[in-house]
Amino acid sequence: GTGEILGVFGAEGAGQQDLAKALYGLAKAAWKAFEIKGKAVNLKCPLDAIKSRMGYVPRDRKGEGLVIDYSVMENITLAALENYSGAGFMNPDKEKNVALRMVEDLRIKTTGIHTPVRVLSGGNQQKVVLGRWLSIDLGIIVLDYPTAGIDVQAKEEVYRILRNLSDKGTSVLLITPEYEEIKA
């Protein structure tokens, strides 16, 4: 089925970042549990969120979203390392193939999957963060101002990616201080 895109708009400092972090289990919440697709979940930490098929794109991509000295591939495969291993060993071919597919699908401009993300533009860094979550089957993704500090073309790419995610059945919660983004 089709997911939905829910926009949460508010002036800076109105608590949107707190909401995003609480939903993902990164901050204390005023609730015990909430529902994802009709199933009650109680997230105490980000690992619980990932197990509940929930992704999170923080506002501060360099400080919180990326491991800046890791490669494009390492950042993309970070959320689900168990998908690329068996019997305690990594499967480099599987990891490489997923990273290559994300680079192509998301049109990430990079010299290669082994390039450190620190040398990418802000828009391409943000696509790497999105690629991490698109490489696994998500029920919901929470994005805290995912277009902060990226150019107009990169913003359009992010919107395209989010619409595709929604069309594939993932629910999208978009938190932004920009009213224009809610309308897009």
pLDDT tens profile 25-71: 676 665 555 666 677 777 777 788 888 888 899 888 888 899 999 99
Amino acid letter for position 147: T
Confidence of residue 18 (pLDDT cuts 50, 70, 90): confident
SS3 readout for 142-168: EEECCCCCCCHHHHHHHHHHHHHHHHC
* 14 DSSP 8-state letter: S
Q: Is the pLDDT of residue 100 over 90?
A: yes
Residue predicted with more confidence, 128 or 87: 128
Q: What is the pLDDT of residue 35?
A: 65
Check if the beta carbon of residue 55 is closer than 8 Å to that of residue 138: yes
Q: Is the pLDDT of residue 1 over 60?
A: no
Check if the beta carbon of residue 78 is closer than 8 Å to that of residue 120: no
Check if the beta carbon of residue 170 is closer than 8 Å to that of residue 162: no
Percent of the chain with pLDDT over 90: 35
The residue assigned the tokens 């998908």 is 83
DSSP 3-state of 180: helix
Predicted confidence (pLDDT) per residue in 132-159, tens digit? 998 888 888 999 999 988 999 999 999 9
- The pTM score is 0.83
* CB proximity list for 33: less than 8 A, separation 6 or greater: 40, 41, 42
